[in-house]
Amino acid sequence: MKLKLIGIISILLFCKLDWALAQGEPKIVQFSGVVVSGGDSLNGVPYVSLYIPKTGRGALSNAVGYFSMPALTNDSIIIIATGYKSTTFVIPNNEASNISVMIELKQDTLLLPIIEVFPYYTEELFKQAFLALRLPEEDNRNMNRNLNDRLLAAMFEETYYDGAMNHRWFTQQQALRQERKYMDPSAYNPLTNPFAWVQLVKSIRNGDFKKKSYNEDGKKLKR
């Protein structure tokens, strides 16, 4: 009986030793990759936390979702990002010393309950304060004066252009100012042209603006 028990224990120890040899000692690998958001875009998720609970170590992805960190084989790495569901990645136990992966996170939509914030302890106190509120009389008078029916009707009658026409006129004026920016003002404004004033004085002296007499045939009469 004792020999049988020793044989069983020996077999169990041999199996355990064989399993340990098959697993091998944990080795250090360089774990790197990119964390992307799920969907068709696959955009990089910035500032994702990658944490190894067993060792208390971790890393943070950069602005485009890239990360690089040392890890041991069979380590479980927890990936956490705000607005996404957390996931876990296990470092495989293989011969590679560098592992590069692309981790896809799924968005996590969370609906928060509605919170009403009042400047009073209870809603009843807020109602009492609101009902006791007195608006300034001057503001009421200005409001009534500006919303007077006759004043609004007069403004409606005097306002000729609508919004589209006012915008078109404004853009036309802008284009005209840009066009005349480097031009001589006398070219488009005869009042600032001295030669135009000389011609006006000559026309007045010659009597070009006097009323002329015509006969029945439409010919100008000579004086």
Contact in structure between 53 and 79 (CB atoms under 8 Å): no
pLDDT in tens, 16-74: 434 444 455 778 899 999 999 877 777 899 999 999 998 888 899 998 999 999 999 88
pLDDT score of 94: 83
pLDDT score of 178: 79
Q: How far apart are CA 151 and CA 69, in angstroms?
A: 73
Dihedrals φ, ψ of 147, to 5°? -100, 20
Contact in structure between 193 and 186 (CB atoms under 8 Å): yes
185: pLDDT confidence band, cut at 50, 70 and 90?
Answer: low
Contact in structure between 79 and 88 (CB atoms under 8 Å): yes
pLDDT score of 16: 47
Domains by residue range for the chain, with CATH: 28-105 (2.60.40.10), 112-205 (no CATH)
pLDDT in tens, 122-139: 888 888 888 888 777 777
97: pLDDT confidence band, cut at 50, 70 and 90?
Answer: confident
Question: Could you tell me how far CA 12 lies from the centroid of its own chain?
Answer: 65
Compute CA distances 2 → 5, 46, 103, 207, whole Å: 5, 64, 55, 149
HSE-CB for 70 with a 13 A CA cutoff: 4
Q: How far apart are CA 133 and CA 172, in angstroms?
A: 50
Tokens of 115: 């919170």
pLDDT score of 1: 52
